[in-house]
Amino acid sequence: MAISAASVVGHTTASSPRPHILYTIEVKTTDGKTSTALKRYSEFVALHDTLNDPGSLPPKRILATTFIPSAWLDDTLIEERKAGLSAYLTGLVESPQFRAHKFLVEFLTSSAPKASARDFNLEDALPSTLSRKAALAVQPVLSAEATPIAAAYYPDWASDSNPPASLDFSKFDILLFAFATPNSSSGISWDDGATSTLKTLVSAAHNSGQGTKVVLSIGGWGGSYWFSQAMSTSANRTTFVNACVSAVNTYSLDGIDIDWEYPNESGAGNPYSSADAANLLSFFQSLRTALGSSKIISAAVTQLPWTGSNGSPLTNVSAYASVMTYANIMNYDVWGASSSPGPNAPLGNLCGTSSLPQYSAQAALPQWTAAGFPASKLVLGLPLYGYYKEQVLGLPARGLKCPLPGVLEDGAEEGEGEEPNALHGNHERRREGKEKEKEVTAEAAAGDLSAYFGQQIPFNQIVALGALVKSSAGTYGGANGYTMAWDDCSDTPFLYNTSRKTVVTYDDTWSLGDKALFAKQNGMAGCFTWSLDQDDGYTLQNVIRSNLGK
């Protein structure tokens, strides 16, 4: 009988040839029978290498536990590995190419793990059984693998302000070039001059000696119109996959990032279908097969998993995780430029008062991992911009709620205009933004942010226009009549100027550092920023890297 399902349901320990962990696999066949198999992590690695399949395994952990033996027994580490191994097996069993492969069948039907000392892998061992000499021997090999990534989106319109030749590539492990867009023929379209910029960026990155990878991001807030159609049929998906592969080969890219905002939701007025999420999975599976295992496949996502056919977030995304490298969580635009300003990118619902408790970094992590996407594949998005709102009164200095209380339009009654403008991630496609920055920087009086009324405002423009000033310590404070205050409930700063009746919600060195540290401490893959052209030099990126331990 054929195998119908396989998942890791538990773990145990064994003592021979050395104390190690065994993962319990529950295997179901089409005749309704159930069996179990015990496997070491290294046996999963051997299977993966033998099949040369596109799936991915949870990361190795020797480095994290080398000199802290008790850490190996930490439930979080165990659960992360079990979830990742389950997702890997699910991807294989659901794949027509691999489900009946003799090596997979043998792996799942052979219940006893190998036990010879010769093929024993240190990754399987309890750290307390490793000698210091053995631990030190493997530490250099695993150090790069254990370090979170620091990534950034590079918009094609940044070629003037941040030309590829001038970038310090040591600051970035991955650059996501934004954007190409799907078109009505299920192919890919480009902005004028974008391919020339991309060629230059790839050449500079790959020749930098820093190992920086360049991934093409397709879509964006205003560029997702044709996604649903491109995913809707097998023929369309094949056409779109071929276009992606052609782009990777033509421009020597390191992968593809799908910035669809959002499946089974209108986003910026996009067509959508109840089958979008299922079609997206089929696309990712086909793309992985076409690109092979070495290329990056990622997607920009909200704090909640994709919307399924029933209109609710998917509860099991392990099949997606098995073929994807990363999911990039856009933890920003939680409150935009609404009449009741609130934090753009909350770390969490720290006071328990948010009307949008599911939209924060602390909420996003368990929402995705509970659905089967390993933390080690989740990248936390950090904004290098804020929102500017004019005509507000009654600003308190500290301890603000979500949205900020007492921040009302002139003449509004308490309770009016309180509906938040929650976009939950928004990669806008605005080439004209850079032209506006040059204009307002040259003409605006110190502290005049009015050109950005009701819009996103880049961090470097808040500084350039005089509302923030950098201290000798590398941090920032209010200037020209602006007072900097702190929202304890979201762990983010805001600026206000009572004479101008304005408020700016944004992120700075402190808040970005806290979110990067959260990602590192919780075993996430790292952080990315939207977008690098909005930084004040590399000040914010440096803080993010430092808190990631880089």
User: How does pLDDT run across 362-407, given as a tens digit for each residue?
Assistant: 999 999 999 999 999 999 999 999 998 765 544 443 334 334 433 3
Residue 71 lies in a domain: yes
Residue 47 lies in a domain: yes
Residue 358 lies in a domain: no
* Beta-bridge partner residues of 299: 258, 327
How would residue 16 be classed by pLDDT, with cut points 50, 70 and 90? low
Q: How far apart are CA 297 and CA 291, in angstroms?
A: 9
The yes-or-no verdict on residue 138 having pLDDT over 70 is no
Is the CA virtual torsion 211, 380, 156, 254 positive or negative?
positive
* Beta-bridge partner residues of 379: 328, 526
The helix/strand/coil state of 51 is helix
- Dihedral (C-alpha) 400, 401, 404, 406: value to the nearest 10 degrees? -80
Find all residues with CB under 8 Å of 316, minimum gap 6, and list them.
371, 372
As a whole-number percent, the residues of the chain with pLDDT over 90 amount to 59
Residue 120 lies in a domain: yes
CB–CB of 286/233 below 8 Å? no
More confident residue, 426 or 217: 217
Residue 488 lies in a domain: no
Q: How far apart are CA 43 and CA 38, in angstroms?
A: 10
Q: How far apart are CA 245 and CA 249, in angstroms?
A: 6
Q: How far apart are CA 349 and CA 284, in angstroms?
A: 33
The yes-or-no verdict on residue 201 having pLDDT over 90 is yes
Q: How far apart are CA 454 and CA 255, in angstroms?
A: 35
Apex 263 CA angle, 260 and 264, nearest 5: 150
* Beta-bridge partner residues of 408: 393
Neighbours of 140 (CB within 10 A): 9
Q: What is the pLDDT of residue 99?
A: 86
Residue 363 lies in a domain: no
Question: Among 16-20, 39-43, 333-337, 454-458, which is the least confidently predicted range?
Answer: 16-20
Question: Among 46-55, 146-155, 210-219, 394-403, which is the least confidently predicted range?
Answer: 394-403
User: Mean pLDDT throughout 22-29?
Assistant: 91
CB–CB of 81/61 below 8 Å? yes
DSSP secondary structure letter of residue 525: -
What's 108's domain CATH number?
Answer: 3.30.1520.10
Q: How far apart are CA 504 and CA 486, in angstroms?
A: 12
Question: Among 307-316, 366-375, 429-438, which is the least confidently predicted range?
Answer: 429-438
CA–CA distances in Å: residue 453 to residues 10, 427, 449: 54, 19, 7
CB–CB of 20/99 below 8 Å? no
Q: How many domains does the chain fold into?
A: 1
Q: How far apart are CA 470 and CA 536, in angstroms?
A: 10
Q: What is the pLDDT of residue 523?
A: 87
Does pTM surpass 0.75? no
Q: What is the pLDDT of residue 339?
A: 63
CB–CB of 423/265 below 8 Å? no
DSSP secondary structure letter of residue 445: P
Q: How far apart are CA 185 and CA 227, in angstroms?
A: 11
Q: How far apart are CA 511 and CA 517, in angstroms?
A: 10
Q: What is the pLDDT of residue 132?
A: 52
Q: What is the pLDDT of residue 442?
A: 45
Q: How far apart are CA 305 and CA 259, in angstroms?
A: 14
* Structural domain of 22: 3-144
Q: How far apart are CA 396 and CA 472, in angstroms?
A: 27
Rounded CA Rg of the chain: 24
The pLDDT tens digits for 471-524 are 999 999 999 999 999 998 999 999 999 888 889 999 999 999 999 999 998 889
DSSP 293-349: SSSEEEEEE-SSPPB-TTSSB-S--HHHHHH-SEEEE----SS-S-SS---SS-S--
Instruction: Tell me the range of 10-14, 134-138, 221-225 where mean pLDDT is highest.
Output: 221-225
As a whole-number percent, the residues of the chain with pLDDT over 70 amount to 78
The residue among 276, 189, 181, 282 whose CA lies nearest residue 225 is 181
Residue 48 lies in a domain: yes
Residue 403 lies in a domain: no
